[in-house]
Amino acid sequence: MNDTATGIRAELDSFLSGCHPLLDRPEGFRRDFVDQLHDLGAFRVFIPPEHGGVYRRYSESMALVSTAAYHSLELSLMLGITSSLFLMPVARYAPAETRGRVLADFLDRRLLAGMMMTEPEYGTNIMGIQTNFRPEGAGYHLQGAKHWAGLSGVGEYWLVSARKARDTGALGRDVDFFIVRSDQPGFQFDHFYPAAGLTSITYGLTRFDVQVPAENKLCGPHTNIRVMYDILNRSRISIASIAAGATRRLVDEAAQWCAGRVVFGKPLTAYEQVQHRLAAMQAAGTVCQAACTYAGALLDAHQGPELFIEMLAANIVKVTATDLLQMAAHAGVQLRGGQGFRRDHYTGKAFTDSRPFQIFEGSNDVLYEAIAAQLIGEARKLGLATLGETLARHPTLPAPVMAADHLRDLPMATEDSQVDRVLFGKLISRYACIGIVQQVAAAEAQPRPELVASAIDYLRAECEGFQNERTTRFRARYSA
């Protein structure tokens, strides 16, 4: 077995390249793929060497997930769920003895794992979850219900979020995480949900009333709310790596199809509208890859116990990459016509399978509003007036450098309207990504300036569109 993340990723790429007919099946891939992934050592890339893995840098883990996404969105999501929402949090925050025992069992028995956070009545309002725990004997009594956890009914290990039940009956504000096994008494999977896509990833409702040993409680360096945000930030960045790999595949599929498809005596690539769509898809691929590279370097530079301070960057990378992935999937189907609207082809599957990534780990609309609120708050704290100077003072987000850039002079304020705050969050995200693309291109050994210029033009056009919509809404609101 290969003992480097790079070697494992190369073997995985080679193996999956010969599995496209199996991966593209409408009913999804078979469970025996999990055993083959274990054989290749794919899960070892997320586990530290002292526990049988080869993990060194977060960027290497992201690269493996991105490679898997090129071949299958479902497969990459399975890797992302198991790694970002279980293996890596356990490696970071579980007590040492528990960490070693759980990770060894995971590898030895070739398991799957995930996280249970969302509840039937609490999705976006994650701080309102009702799953609770109370000390009992040598551990804790944990009870509640969770749903929409990826790999429901098939994962063997789970991180379950809960709030402490006080003697008064009220629940504490902090959120804690517990390692729970699906085969222990009181853990009951109720039923599957008929999800509209991602057929290989099972979702459903799970109820539990279980005893958890004290050593199965995660212990962060500060409050566990910060642990929760650390996990979510890393998972959001992992989603961006999935978007990068999937968008690259969509671009390749579309380019190959359009070059060979002849309509009215000419290849599709001869038509201006087709060229326009292909250019937009290529720009999306360039932006997603740059966002992935930037976020990977950011995480590699922050190997400490917290990522909480990088929430703005994580949110921007996630929302931009997933929106562009959905756009690329839509364009891919449009270019392929009826051949693209099939569940037995990568493009057709991506059309539906890419959509929930705009909801995973926080709905994009909610995150856009949070992005606007956070950056406006930072500007007020520093006494800054414009978008350009606020990004220029940000510790990790690179400010764009463009000629005739009137966007940098936009005031750091929004109308008293949620819609305007969401639009401004979208504008901020795309504008920040211009700086990210420029920063990544400047560090490349062999940059491709034509791709960089096209990506920047695309992002700038989106910024202009968002600002025009804000202006139109403002005029309509105050002229009525």
pLDDT band at 339 (very low <50, low <70, confident <90, very high): confident
Same domain, 122 and 65: no
Mean pLDDT across 115-122: 95
Same domain, 366 and 453: yes
User: Does residue 15 sit within a domain?
Assistant: yes
Same domain, 401 and 297: yes
| Each residue's pLDDT tens digit, 161-205 | 999 999 898 999 889 999 999 999 999 999 999 999 999 999 999
Same domain, 240 and 204: no
pLDDT number for residue 9: 97
Token couple for 189 = 């999977």
CB-based contacts of 444: which residues, under 8 Å, 6+ apart?
Answer: none
- CATH number, residue 105: 1.10.540.10
Least confident range of 9-18, 307-316, 350-359: 307-316
How far is 92 from 190, CA to CA, in rounded Å? 31
Which DSSP helix (H) or strand (E) runs through 158?
Answer: strand 157-164
Amino acid found at 461: A
CB-based contacts of 466: which residues, under 8 Å, 6+ apart?
Answer: 423, 424, 426, 427, 430
Token couple for 181 = 């096994």
User: Does residue 57 sit within a domain?
Assistant: yes
Same domain, 102 and 132: no
Mean pLDDT across 376-399: 94
Mean pLDDT for the chain overall: 93
- CATH number, residue 162: 2.40.110.10
pLDDT number for residue 141: 97
Report percent pLDDT > 90 for the chain: 82
pLDDT number for residue 288: 98
420 pLDDT higher than 90:
yes
- What are the Cα distances from residue 290, in Å, to 249, 266, 296, 402? 16, 34, 10, 18
Same domain, 105 and 125: no
Residue where one domain finishes, among candidates 202, 221, 240: 221
| Each residue's pLDDT tens digit, 222-265 | 667 788 888 999 999 999 999 999 999 999 999 999 999 999 99
User: Does residue 451 sit within a domain?
Assistant: yes
303 pLDDT higher than 80:
no
Same domain, 250 and 274: yes
| Residue-range definition of the domain harbouring residue 421 | 225-475
Contact 180, 142 (CB under 8 A): yes
Nearest to residue 102, comparing CAs of 62, 52, 30?
52
Same domain, 105 and 129: no
Mean pLDDT across 93-102: 95
Contact 148, 111 (CB under 8 A): no
pLDDT number for residue 473: 86
pLDDT number for residue 447: 79
User: Does residue 251 sit within a domain?
Assistant: yes
479 pLDDT higher than 80:
no
pLDDT number for residue 32: 84
**Would you mind telling me the total number of residues written for the chain in this entry?**
480
Contact 422, 397 (CB under 8 A): no
User: Does residue 247 sit within a domain?
Assistant: yes
Nearest to residue 464, comparing CAs of 415, 405, 419?
405
| Residues forming beta bridges with residue 235, ordered by sequence position | none
Give the SS3 label for residue 284: helix
- CATH number, residue 239: 1.20.140.10
How far is 281 from 251, CA to CA, in rounded Å? 6
| Each residue's pLDDT tens digit, 311-338 | 899 999 999 999 999 999 999 999 999 8
User: Does residue 480 sit within a domain?
Assistant: no
Residue where one domain finishes, among candidates 112, 147, 179: 112
Token couple for 40 = 């290749």
Token couple for 66 = 């991105």
pLDDT number for residue 229: 86
| Each residue's pLDDT tens digit, 426-455 | 999 999 999 999 999 999 888 799 999 999
Phi, psi of 107 (to 5 degrees): -75, -40
Contact 44, 54 (CB under 8 A): yes
pLDDT number for residue 227: 84
Q: How many domains does the chain have?
A: 3
CB-based contacts of 388: which residues, under 8 Å, 6+ apart?
Answer: 399, 400, 405, 407, 408, 409, 410
Enter the pTM of the model.
Answer: 0.94
pLDDT band at 30 (very low <50, low <70, confident <90, very high): confident
How far is 384 from 418, CA to CA, in rounded Å? 22
96 pLDDT higher than 60:
yes
pLDDT number for residue 475: 77
476 pLDDT higher than 80:
no
Same domain, 187 and 67: no
DSSP calls for 63-119: HHHHHHHHH-HHHHHHHHHHIIIIIHHHHHHS-HHHHHHHHHHHHHTT--EEEE--B
Same domain, 156 and 240: no
Same domain, 210 and 261: no
Residue where one domain finishes, among candidates 190, 221, 252: 221
User: Does residue 312 sit within a domain?
Assistant: yes
Report percent pLDDT > 70 for the chain: 97
Same domain, 158 and 199: yes
Contact 113, 86 (CB under 8 A): yes
User: Does residue 338 sit within a domain?
Assistant: yes
